[in-house]
Every structure is written in structure tokens, then in C-alpha cells.
């Protein structure tokens, strides 16, 4: 645990660099959570209740991390979570992350609020899924679906934990949502980060490229405010049935934290779910995602693939999640820090650091591939509390 947040695990150097490079309000936007940030901390704490049991003499000369998830095959059991406005963190924008997803042969979610449009990111040839918020105006949602299909994404992720946007104290303190008319202190904060500022000026386009066609507002923050207000709070399971009808490709539901919701999503024809509390940015207090994973796994009984996100910061976290039946893990802040710190090179470092640690843990546990980890299940783990 650090002074003002959960520990950043193997990414601590990159996170530190990102915080030094970014204006305070962007660093806080990445790091922060809702209300008391209890959920944010609980995501990390949940992993500390498990350890992986060391085993010897099992020929671990070859470790294979290949995973099949949501019908896709990835070289590593990693999925880069959709992160809004990530293009603001570095001039190389989300394309840097998509290139690294392609290089490492893993999946990535494109946020509805991506600075780069999905049409521009597919050129990376990464395995990309479009994350969709269902908007009040269903014509916008239909257009997003149409675009996701036409540009060749491999599927969609529908995020269901954002019926409203709760108070995030750090963003309130920094006036994050009011950046379109920067105050003097905000201007001063931006000027203390000249390298970031030069990149932002070089990048030019002050717009949320993925969705600016749906708003008449100008400027990233005004567009963000406008479109966040369009996320439909009346959304219910009937709408999900509508969506299942409107989209005949791969459909994944993100933001599941209850076994009954997992079952409902499955019954409505979802191809997979992401157990997620939005990285502690929505409901507070909520349980850690790893805390609810076993009950959700039991409910769906292996009939659809489960990915988990929230607080994945170490190789041991990945192995623990797989042993508790996740097909893959997903993470948001780590790649955002890597991107902010060093662009493409930083995202590459994030993936290499995590891969190395997963290999270490699997080898020392005598588990040579991801399916073996899942089959071993709890027998590979040692509960600590």
C-alpha cells in the first residue's frame, strides 16, 4: 500500500513515471476511484488472501501461456481493458497500445471514449473489441454497432456498471470535467508538464475521435460531458435482449459482480462476461472482483468464458485468477501508466513485465500451461485468510 493508493505491483516504476509526466488531473483521473476508494483498495486486497503453492521436480523447461478466450486465441492470457481518453495520456494515443496488443498477440477493448476512432485502430491488426455504452438515442448505439462490424472488430463489449457516474473526489478536486474552460490553477498544472503539453499540442485534434460525430460540442471535455450524459440510465435486461438481436457477432458483458447477473447475461445469449467493478470507479463500497469470482464461476458452470479485471498487478495475481477459473485477466491502469510514461515502449514494458512474472510463478508451481492451471484449480492455491 502506498500513501494514497493501492500498491502498483510490478508496474510501480512505470506508474511513478506516468505520474511525473502527466498533469495532476490526468494522473488522478487514471488512479482514482469512486467515493471512499474502498472498492479500489479491495480489488488489490482480495489477491493478498491467496498464495500459489510451490511444487518441485515437474519439468518446467517449457511454459506455454496460450489461451483461448471468447473463441479467440491469444499468446498470453491478457486482455487490455477499455480505458476512456487514453489518447490524452501520450501523443502516440491508443494506436500505441493497439500495436503492442498486436505484437504480443493479445486482445484489447476500444473504449467508447477512445481519442482514436475504432476505424483508425483496426489498422494495427490487433484483436480488437469495441466497448459500447448504450446511449439514450438508440440510433447512436446502432451506428456504433454498424461501425464495429464494418471496420472489422472481432466483437463488442457492453459495459453495464455505469448507469450513473458517481462522485470521484479526485476528479471533483481537480475540476476534471470542467477542463474545457481551464482555470488558472489548471493552466498552471498543465504548464508544469511541458513534455506532456508539447505532445498534446503536436497531436492537435482536441476531440474524442471515436464519438465526436454524435455531438455538436467542441473540445474533448465538452464532448465527454455531453456523451456521458447520453449513457442511458433506463437500460435494463430487455434492452440487452434487443442488443443481442441487433448484433449477431461476439457479445461480451462487462461489469458483472453477481452470480444472478452472470446467469441472466448467459441466458440472454452473451458469449462471455467480464467480472469487473470498473476498477473501483463506480460502486463504492463493493467487493473485490476476486472475492466474487468463485460464486460467479459456480453459477455459469463453465458454459461461457469469464475474464476478470480489477487490481491485477503481479504474475501471481494472474495465476490465482486462472486457478479460480478465469480464462484470462484484464487490466486498465497498468497499460495507461505504460502509455503515459513511454508511449508504445511503455505498453510493451507492461506486457513483458507481467508475462515474465506469470512464467516465473507457473514454473515454480510446476504448472506448464494455462489449461493445467485451470484444471489444478484450488489445488494450486493456498488460501491465506
Q: Which residues bind ligand FNR (CB under 6 A)?
A: 29-30, 43, 81-84, 111-113, 131, 159, 254, 276, 278-279, 281, 309-312, 331-333, 336
Q: Is 214 helix (H, G, I), strand (E, B) or coil?
A: helix
> Is 278 one of the catalytic residues?
yes
Q: Is 156 helix (H, G, I), strand (E, B) or coil?
A: strand
Residue 109's DSSP bridge partners are: 129
Instruction: Tell me how far, at minimum, the Cβ of 192 lies from ligand FNR, in Å.
Output: 21
48 vs 44: CA distance, rounded Å: 7
Instruction: Tell me how far, at minimum, the Cβ of 15 lies from ligand FNR, in Å.
Output: 11
274 vs 251: CA distance, rounded Å: 11
Instruction: Tell me how far, at minimum, the Cβ of 313 lies from ligand FNR, in Å.
Output: 8
Instruction: Tell me how far, at minimum, the Cβ of 55 lies from ligand FNR, in Å.
Output: 29
Instruction: Tell me how far, at minimum, the Cβ of 161 lies from ligand FNR, in Å.
Output: 8
- Write down the catalytic residue from 99, 104, 278, 342: 278
Closer to ligand FNR by CB, 132 or 368: give it. Answer: 132
Instruction: Tell me how far, at minimum, the Cβ of 265 lies from ligand FNR, in Å.
Output: 15
295 vs 137: CA distance, rounded Å: 35
Strand locations in 233-290 (E): 250-256, 272-275
Closer to ligand FNR by CB, 90 or 254: give it. Answer: 254
Closer to ligand FNR by CB, 130 or 368: give it. Answer: 130
CA angle 19/25/28 to nearest 5° reads: 60
Phi, psi of 16 (to 5 degrees): -60, -45
Phi, psi of 381 (to 5 degrees): -110, 160
Closer to ligand FNR by CB, 92 or 376: give it. Answer: 92
Give the residue at shortest CB distance from ligand FNR: 332
Closer to ligand FNR by CB, 42 or 278: give it. Answer: 278
Closer to ligand FNR by CB, 210 or 367: give it. Answer: 210
- Helix residue ranges, H only, 168-218: 169-174, 184-191, 194-203
369 vs 298: CA distance, rounded Å: 23
Q: Which long-range contacts (CB under 8 A, 24 or more apart) does 342-347 make?
A: 342/14, 342/17, 343/90, 343/91, 343/92, 343/96, 344/92, 344/96, 344/99, 344/100, 346/14, 346/17, 346/18, 346/90, 347/96, 347/97, 347/100
Q: Which residues are catalytic?
A: 278
Amino acid at each position: 500500500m502506498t500513501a494514497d493508493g493501492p500498491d502498483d505491483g510490478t508496474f510501480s516504476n512505470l506508474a511513478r513515471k506516468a505520474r511525473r509526466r502527466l498533469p495532476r488531473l490526468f494522473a488522478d483521473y487514471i488512479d482514482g476511484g469512486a467515493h471512499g476508494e474502498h472498492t479500489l483498495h479491495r480489488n488489490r486486497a482480495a489477491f493478498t488472501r491467496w498464495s500459489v503453492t510451490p511444487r518441485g521436480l515437474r519439468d518446467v523447461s517449457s511454459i506455454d501461456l496460450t489461451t483461448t478466450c471468447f473463441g479467440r486465441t491469444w499468446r498470453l492470457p491478457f486482455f487490455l481493458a477499455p480505458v476512456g481518453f487514453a489518447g490524452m495520456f501520450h501523443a502516440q494515443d491508443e494506436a500505441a497500445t493497439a500495436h503492442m496488443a498486436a505484437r504480443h498477440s493479445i486482445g484489447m477493448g476500444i473504449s467508447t471514449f477512445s481519442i482514436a476512432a475504432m476505424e483508425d485502430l483496426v489498422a494495427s491488426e490487433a484483436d480488437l473489441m469495441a466497448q459500447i455504452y448504450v446511449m439514450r438515442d438508440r440510433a447512436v448505439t446502432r451506428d456504433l454497432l454498424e461501425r464495429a462490424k464494418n471496420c472489422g472488430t472481432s466483437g463488442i463489449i457492453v459495459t453495464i456498471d455505469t448507469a450513473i457516474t458517481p462522485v470521484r473526489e479526485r476528479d471533483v478536486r481537480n475540476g476534471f470535467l470542467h477542463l474545457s474552460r481551464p482555470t488558472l490553477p489548471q493552466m498552471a498544472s498543465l504548464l508544469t508538464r511541458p513534455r506532456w503539453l508539447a505532445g498534446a499540442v503536436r497531436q492537435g485534434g482536441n476531440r474524442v475521435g471515436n464519438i465526436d460525430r454524435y455531438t455538436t460540442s467542441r473540445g474533448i471535455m465538452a464532448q465527454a460531458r455531453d456523451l456521458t450524459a447520453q449513457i442511458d440510465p433506463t437500460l435494463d435486461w430487455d434492452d440487452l435482449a434487443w442488443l443481442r438481436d441487433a448484433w449477431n457477432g461476439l457479445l461480451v458483458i462487462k461489469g458483472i459482480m453477481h452470480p444472478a447477473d452472470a446467469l441472466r447475461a448467459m441466458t440472454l445469449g452473451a458469449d462471455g462476461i467480464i467480472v469487473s467493478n470498473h476498477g473501483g470507479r463506480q460502486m463504492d463500497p463493493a467487493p473485490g472482483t476476486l472475492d466474487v469470482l468463485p460464486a460467479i464461476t459456480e453459477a455459469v458452470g463453465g458454459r461461457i468464458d469469464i475474464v476478470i479485471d480489477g487490481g491485477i498487478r503481479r504474475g501471481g495475481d494472474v495465476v490465482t485468477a486462472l486457478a479460480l477459473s478465469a480464462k484470462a485477466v484484464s487490466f486498465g491502469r497498468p497499460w495507461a501508466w505504460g502509455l503515459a510514461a513511454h508511449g508504445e515502449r511503455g505498453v510493451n514494458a507492461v506486457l513483458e513485465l507481467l508475462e515474465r512474472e506469470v512464467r516465473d510463478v507457473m514454473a515454480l508451481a510446476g504448472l506448464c500451461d494455462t489449461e493445467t492451471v485451470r484444471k489444478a484449480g484450488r489445488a494450486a492455491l493456498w488460501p491465506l485468510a
